[in-house]
Chains A and B, each alone.
Chain A
Amino acid sequence: MADSGNAPKPSSSVKLVLLGEAAVGKSSLVLRFVNNDFQENKEPTIGAAFLTQKCNLPTRTIKFEIWDTAGQERFASLAPMYYRNAQAALVVYDLTKPTSLVKAKHWVAELQRQASPGIVIALVGNKLDLTNDEAGSGGDGESPGVDGEGDARKVTTDEAKTYADEEGLLFFETSAKTGYNVTEVFTAIANAIPETSLKTARGPGAAHAAARSEEQRVNLNGARDQNAKDGCAC
């Protein structure tokens, strides 16, 4: 290798699954994270869509293998197939729709009972741009949350946060539309994955996979500096 000072960081892949009621913005969040884009979903999803994105942490690189599960209710019975060996899960609700939090709680319970024991779960309230909160609604001028028009928020931060704390979940409020807090979710998950689970979780193949992605990946300095602060390369 040319520069030993910049030796490739240990890299490992993390299987992450997105769960949540239809139309809460799962696909939009992934699209924002992977492509930094927001648009109507043109991809016909059969079962679940698969995407990958790398996330550089100061000490290591995480390659997210993301399974974005299909929206329709009946596909829920396929979900176990996708979360079975996932190391992380993003459970999304729409903070303008209280029933979606109920559904999210269901998924959390389901994961806690059925998924691999060490799974890192983040609870994400999406569509923050539809509320009056300053943080979320900043991005787009035509946000309905502006002035008098009223706050579309139906789930308070407190309520969700309390629940997340009780269950030991990471908690974020995001907007896939403005991009607010999206990267932070994934970075927090990457940080929360215990080092040990990275080494062992993927079985004997893991080391092999890690080695391969190291070969392929050329890490540039610039990106790294930025990531030291920001977390992810996106």
Chain B
Amino acid sequence: MLNLSNFVQKAQQLLDPTQSLNITDSDRNPSKASLFQSQFRLPSSQHPLYEITAELTIPPPNATQGERDRDRGYQYAGKLHLSESYLCFSTTPSSFLQSASTSTSSIFTGQTHGGGPSGNGFTFPLSAVRRVERLHSQNFQFALAITTWNGISQDAAKDKDRKDLKEQRITIQLAGTRPACERFCDGLKKGLRSNVGNVSKLKKVVSECYSEYLLRTEDEKNANPPDAGLGMLFKYPGDPKKLRDRAKMRLWAEYLRDNGRNLTLIRQPTFHKLIRVGLPNRLRGEMWELSSGSIYLRLENPTLYADTLTKFSGQESLAIDEIEKDLNRSLPEYPGFQSEEGIGRLRRVLTAYSWVNADVGYCQAMNIVVAALLIYMSESQAFFLLSALCDRLVPGYYSTTMYGTLLDQKVFESLVEKTMPILWDHLVKSDVQLSVVSLPWFLSLYINSMPLVFAFRVLDVFFVEGPKVLFQVGLAILRINGEELLDATDDGAFISVLKSYFSRLDESAHPKSENPKLRAVTRFQELMVVAFKEFSGITHSSITESRLKNKDAVLNNIESFAKRTAIRNLGPDSKLLSADELGALYDRFYGVLYERQQRDHILQQEQARRAKSSRSRIPEAHHPSDDHGIEKGRVGLGPSTSLMDYDAFREFLAAMSKWAISDAPTTPRRDNFGDKQGGFYSSLRRADASLSPWGTGPEPADHEFLQRLFRKWDTGSTSALTLQNVVSGMARIKGKRDIMGTINYFFELHDDDGDGKVDREGILRMSEALLFLSRRGLEGTLSPPNPAMNVSGDGLNGGSDAPGQSVNERFLGSVSAFIRRCFEYADPDHPHNQNAIQDVQERLDAQRLEDSAAEELVNPDAFAIGDDDEDEDDDLLAMDSPTGSPRAAAKRSDHSAGEPPALQLNSSSTGLRTDDDAMVRRRVSKAQSERANAALDPSNPLHITLPTFRMVVLADELLEQFFESSFPASFHIIEGLASSATPTSASSLTTFSSLGMGAGRAVNAALGGGPGASAGGRGLRGVLDNIVTDGMRVAAEVRRRMEEAQKELEKNALPGQRNDEEEEEDEEEPGFERSSGAGKGSAYRGDAERRSVRSSDRDLLTGADAEASDTINRSTSNIEGSGGSGASDGNGSTTKNAEGAGKVMGVEFDG
């Protein structure tokens, strides 16, 4: 069963009304829904569900409205639209059907000639519709009679009033096929039913409208009229006589009586005329909220303002501090703001807004705008109007980067250049930057530039016709003052010309004219005429066009400024990294956050789409491109977050370090940093993000080491990293490039309590980390082993270094040796354990002998190697203290840690032998491991200290090189992985990683004596041997595949042979990713990209392409024909179909 109210609720949740209408892709390619919302000024919860061509008939009024036919009333041809909660009619023939082209949807953006973007018609909340009757019409078409709740607040009063109040009843004749009409009526019926519950909201909203009070008879006007602003207490600005306020009020009273008031008002041409002559004081606020549509936001949630204040009462914020500073300098010339009453209202509205829209918070200039609003409207009305301003009318003006302000200044400059080329040349020549003058006009909506009475006249039109008015007025100001401005040659002169002009707006524009009529024209009137006549070509669509053209440049400027600022403010740590590295870190940091937000958004939309389509059978209910917030994360728009959580951190690392990429089968990574030149974000903006939680990038690994790194960098323990954290963390690894620093850092990473000791478990974790970091191969400069061998002069073992053995394979051996040495040289935790350790040591040694012996049986060739094993200790001893014990050697090396060269020479050979040693022991039997396990009894706690750790590392050439070069080099900050020579997914070392995470943990459990202690069946050594064994096998596999890949690369050098490649991919063994060589890798990525585009086409962007091509058409047609749509203002096309005989057919919907 269809549950419309549920659906509406869902839609409302999904489309947060406070979400800002950024200038986004949705502008370039606006969804039908957002165009619909703009035309009728509706909240973003509303979607165009049904529409139908129709003719509106308004019955003749009591009072005269003009020279129209009194009997038939007024008729308008146009379109009737139905959304979840609104029934709208407009003479502007725009269509929002999915099938409609963008140009028919955005037609309202054309020139308005004062008609306003929504033309003539109405915007009725369905809760304000009292009754719909279906009438018989002569030509067998559908006709509906609609009765509204106009004057609902009066209804409650005595019966006698109802007689005074004529019911508002209009008829609408639908012009469409019978099924189309039926569908529309069905939709209307459902909508009405589900909105019955909203009548109480309607009553509340209406009761706060001054028009209700105005239209009451004198004797029923109670003492307390609705709040129409501070003006009621402190007088409205200007002289009411001069403003002819009473006359205007009478005209409005008549209009509202005839055409409905507030939510049930019908717009006819007089409405627009009345607005142009200036609104009367007490109705101004209500008309502002009506024409801006903020009243519909209020209707949606009438108590939001009060609720917000209650909810956040007593809380503090940065915004509140900033607001407080500005309260005393917001229209201080108006008496209301010299009083606590006015200041209090201003404080509350600004504060409440800063809570509901934390992204904007508070921006200077909002204080002035809100102060102005509060003169004419209640706090709650001003609160919602501020919301409409920030979200729709002047988007981005007050955001944290103020990109909207800067963008509109660029647009304004380009308009000046186009319309006043001489003045523009003059400005350029005199090096005067126009925007230093015009920026305050836009930012404060002229309120701070002109005397208040005139600024409010501009606002009257602005709220009806939109932001283009700001441009028209600005251009007119320059045009009128053109001559004088051509004489001005610096900022000062320029400013003073305009200042004096603004101060004389009330003077005659033609003081010397003979013609008294001309003499009576004020400069302000002249300004309005020039603005709206001479610059009538400035339309909403031409502004939108120009905004799109300039947007990227403006955002790039802001972003490079923000980047410079951020990087400079990173503190001393950042000095350790190069400027390029910092720049790249910054880009990567915000790039990841941005992309993740995009992805979340798309995923949410996809979910919403699925939820909707499964919930609703309404065919038009698909709104695939409601993407207002699509660019929310972009820095230039004011990032909504600058904190990186753990998952983002993983993604961040996976883009520059191959070890941070998961071993699980991954989605192929995308070359996202390769082509970011100049258009970092535009490359990201491609809508090819797949539905994978990692987008099209590789799935990042999740390893204990990553968690440690994250925690280490997260110095504030907030579970989130700032850019500062990331830079400081990276500086420790990559900054100093000194091996001791890196070794220390690695040790610190594993020294959980910071006591300078790492325990048994820590040692295991370190080795796991080493294996984890090296499992995709080592990077950096690794000196070939042979020369080192020669230097050491140790010819004995030279032969054991099989020529084919790769560095990576040798490294596995090094790690194995590392663990063993760590345990060998570990210090006991308590002195009395010394003996126990000695015991362990002895038993280990003994076991090694046995191992060798066992090995001997299996492989006689290994015999000599077993001897080497014995020698190894001797080497170490000889190196430092020929006569000492291993412990002494460890102690000594504490002091000798600063002399790595000496160690290096000797250790080069030990490292190799260790490797062999490991090879030997990989066949150690389970039984033997179990015996060894006793030696590692957790009841003998032990630890290594930093000096020991250093010694152990430096004792191995490869480990040393790992810390010296390989580890720091594995962070490809600048070039990223895409352009790295190493293939990103050389191999997926499945067995290896499962050991690192699975078996490794089992070992820890065994050693830690925890609940898992019974796992002692697998001794450490057994596990280690397995690690090594698996590692070797896998490493061999890697090598084989790399060779294969190399061959393949050579074979398939021609791009045309990719088909073969794909076939081969299919043949890959499970558990291994395709082992692509460097060149092949990039070819493959290209392919992946194509593939992901295809899949997202399918999944997400149905219809978007069509819209994109429409956009192109639109932009060309707009340039030529922006004037055409103005003719559609309605009453010219009135037809004379008489209303059918009124037999009631429809259901009656009574609230």
Assess A202 versus B368: contact at CB under 8 Å? Given A110-B565, A110-B568.
no
Tell me whether A50 and B564 are in contact in the complex, defined as CB-CB below 8 angstroms, given that A72-B322, A75-B364, A204-B429 are known contacts: no
Give the residues in chain B near A33, CB-CB below 8 Å.
Answer: none
Binds B, one of A130-138, A205-213, A223-231: A205-213
Among the 9-residue stretches B38-46, B301-309, B433-441, B1143-1151, the one with 4 or more Cβ atoms under 8 Å from chain A is: B433-441
Q: Please measure, in the bound complex, the distance between the C-alpha atom of A32 and the C-alpha atom of B329, giving whole angstroms.
A: 19
Partner of B326, one of A44, A105, A109, A110: A44
Closest to B326 in A: A44
Which of B329, B436, B493 sits near A67, CB closer than 8 Å? B436
Whether B490 pairs with A13 at a CB distance below 8 angstroms is: yes
Question: Which of B330, B401, B491, B564 has a CB less than 8 Å from the CB of A15?
Answer: B491
> Are A106 and B565 within 8 A (Cβ)?
yes
Whether a CB of chain B sits under 8 angstroms from the CB of A78 is: yes
Question: Which of chain B's residues has its CB closest to A105's CB?
Answer: B568
Are A78 and B431 closer than 8 Å at their CB atoms? no
Find chain A residues with CB under 8 A from B363 CB.
72, 74
- A40's nearest neighbour on chain B, judged by CB, is B328
Q: Tell me which residues across on chain B come within 8 A of A74, comparing CB atoms.
A: 363, 399-402
Q: For this complex, into which size category does the number of interface residues on chain A fall? A: 35 or more
Which residue from B328, B433, B492, B568 sits with its C-beta under 8 Å from A81?
B433
Task: Say whether B684 faces chain A, with CB atoms less than 8 Å apart.
Answer: no
Contact B492 A13 (CB under 8 A): yes
- A35 → chain B closest CB, angstroms: 16
**CA–CA, A84 and B490, complex, Å:** 14
CA distance A85 to B430 in the complex (A): 11
Which residues on the B side are within 8 Å of A82 (C-beta)? Answer: 436
A80 to B559, CA, bound (A): 13
Check A47 against B443 for contact (C-beta < 8 Å).
yes
Interface pair A46/B368, CB less than 8 Å apart:
yes
Please tell me if B367 contacts chain A, counting CB pairs below 8 Å.
yes
Task: Name the CB-closest residue of B to A106.
Answer: B568
For chain A, residues 165 to 202, give those with C-beta under 8 angstroms from any C-beta of chain B: 202
- A-contact bits for B672-693, CB 8 A (1 contact / 0 none): 0000000000000000000000
Judging by beta carbons under 8 Å apart, are A44 and B439 in contact? no
A48 adjacent to chain B (CB < 8 Å): yes
- In the bound complex, residues from chain A placing their C-beta under 8 Å from that of B431 are 85, 202-203, 205
Q: Mark A49-75, 1 if CB is under 8 A from B, else 0.
A: 010100000000001010100111011
A39 CB within 8 Å of chain B: no
Query: Which listed residue, A84, A102, A113, touches B564 by the CB 8 Å rule?
Result: A113
Given A106-B569, A205-B429, A205-B430: A50 touches B495 (CB 8 Å cut-off)? yes
A52 to B496, CA, bound (A): 11
Answer whether residue B561 sits at the interface, using C-beta atoms and an 8 A cutoff: yes
- Any chain A CB within 8 A of the CB of B195? no
A47–B429 Cα distance when bound, in Å, is 23
A77 touching B406 by the CB < 8 A rule?
Answer: yes
Q: Are B401 and A46 in contact (CB under 8 A)?
A: no
In the assembled complex, A4 has its CB within 8 A of some CB on chain B: no
Q: How far is the CB of A204 from chain B (nearest CB, A)?
A: 6
A42 lies within 8 A of B490 (CB): no
Query: Is A156 in contact with chain B by the CB < 8 A criterion?
Result: no
In the complex, chain B residues whose CB is within 8 Å of the CB of A42: 328-329, 332
B5: interface (CB < 8 Å): no
Contact A75 B433 (CB under 8 A): no
B444 in the interface, Cβ–Cβ < 8 Å? yes
Contact present for B568 and A109 (CB under 8 Å): yes
Residue in A46, A50, A103, A205 whose beta carbon sits within 8 Å of that of B489 in the complex: A205
Residue of B nearest to A15 (CB): B491
Contact check, A205 vs B490: say whether CB atoms are below 8 A apart: yes
A78 touches B402 (CB 8 A): yes
Mask, A89-101, CB within 8 Å of B = 1, is 0000000000000
Q: Does A215 make an interface contact (CB < 8 A)? A: no
Kindly list chain A residues whose C-beta atoms are within 8 Å of the C-beta of B436: 47-48, 50, 67, 81-82
Residues of A within 8 A of B558 (CB): 77
B561 pairs with A50, CB closer than 8 A: no
Question: Is the CB–CB distance between A81 and B435 below 8 Å?
Answer: yes
The distance from the CB of A197 to the nearest CB of chain B, in whole angstroms, is: 13
Is A43 at the interface (CB under 8 A from chain B)?
yes
CB of A6 closer than 8 Å to a CB of B:
no
Which residue of B has the minimal Cβ distance to A80?
B561
Other-chain contact of A208, B405, B440, B489 (Cβ < 8 Å): B489
Most B Cβ at <10 Å: residue of A45, A46, A75: A46
In the complex, A78 Cα to B433 Cα: how many Å? 12
Interface hits, B792-841 → A, CB 8 Å: none
Cβ of A41 < 8 Å from any Cβ of B?
yes
Judge whether B328 and A78 touch: CB under 8 Å: no
Please state if B406 and A78 are interface contacts (CB–CB under 8 Å).
yes
Interface: A233 (CB within 8 A) = no
Q: Cβ of B564 and Cβ of A110 under 8 Å apart?
A: yes
A152 close to chain B: CB less than 8 A:
no
Any B CB within 8 A of the CB of A234: no
Q: Could you tell me if A209 and B493 are in contact, using CB atoms closer than 8 angstroms?
A: yes
A97 CB to closest chain B CB (Å) equals 15
Contact residues in A for B433 (Cβ distance below 8 Å): 81, 84-85
* B365 within 8 Å of A (CB atoms): yes
Cβ-based interface call for B1109 (8 A): no
Residue A155 lies at the interface, judged by CB distance under 8 Å to chain B: no
A206-B402 Cα distance, complex, nearest whole Å:
32
A34 CB within 8 Å of chain B: no
Beta-carbon contacts of B555-568 to A below 8 Å, as 1s and 0s? 00110011011001
Contact flags (1/0) for B388-404 with A, using CB distance below 8 Å? 00000000000111110
Residue in A46, A85, A110 whose beta carbon sits within 8 Å of that of B364 in the complex: A46
Contact assessment for A46 and B565 in the assembled complex, using a CB-CB cutoff below 8 Å: no
User: In the assembly, what is the distance between CA of A130 and CA of B368, in Å?
Assistant: 33
Given contacts A47-B439, A48-B436, A109-B568, contact A41 B329 (CB under 8 A): yes
State which of B331, B367, B492 has its C-beta within 8 Å of the C-beta of A65: B492
Chain B neighbourhood of A40, CB < 8 A? 328
Q: Are B448 and A46 in contact (CB under 8 A)?
A: yes
User: A77–B439 contact, CB under 8 A?
Assistant: no
Name the distance in Å between A159's Cβ and chain B's nearest Cβ.
14
Q: How far is the CB of A49 from chain B (nearest CB, A)?
A: 10
CA distance A192 to B659 in the complex (A): 56
Residues in B with CB closer than 8 Å to A106 are: 565, 568-569
Using Cβ atoms and an 8 Å threshold, which residues of chain A touch B565?
76, 106, 110
User: How far does the alpha carbon of A205 sit from the alpha carbon of B485 in the complex, in Å?
Assistant: 13
Given A44-B330, A74-B363, A206 and B489 contact (CB-CB distance below 8 Å) = yes
The winner among A72, A80, A106, A204 for most chain B CB atoms within 10 A is A72
- Chain B residues near A50: list those with CB within 8 A: 436, 491-492, 495
Is A80 a contact of B557 with CB atoms below 8 Å?
yes
| A14-51 interface (Cβ within 8 A of B) | 15, 40-48, 50
In the complex, per-residue mask of B718-744: 1 if CB is within 8 Å of any chain A CB, else 0: 000000000000000000000000000
- Contacting residues, chain B, for A208 (C-beta < 8 A): 489
CA distance A67 to B433 in the complex (A): 12
- Top-10 shortest CB links A-B: A205-B489, A205-B430, A46-B440, A44-B329, A209-B489, A47-B439, A106-B568, A72-B364, A74-B400, A65-B492
Having A45-B364, A77-B401, one finds 9 other A-B pairs with CB under 8 Å, namely A44-B326, A46-B364, A46-B443, A72-B322, A78-B406, A78-B439, A80-B557, A205-B490, A209-B490
Return 18 A-B CB contacts under 8 Å, by A number: A44-B326, A44-B330, A44-B331, A44-B368, A45-B364, A46-B368, A50-B436, A74-B400, A75-B364, A75-B402, A77-B403, A81-B439, A84-B433, A85-B431, A85-B433, A203-B430, A203-B431, A208-B489
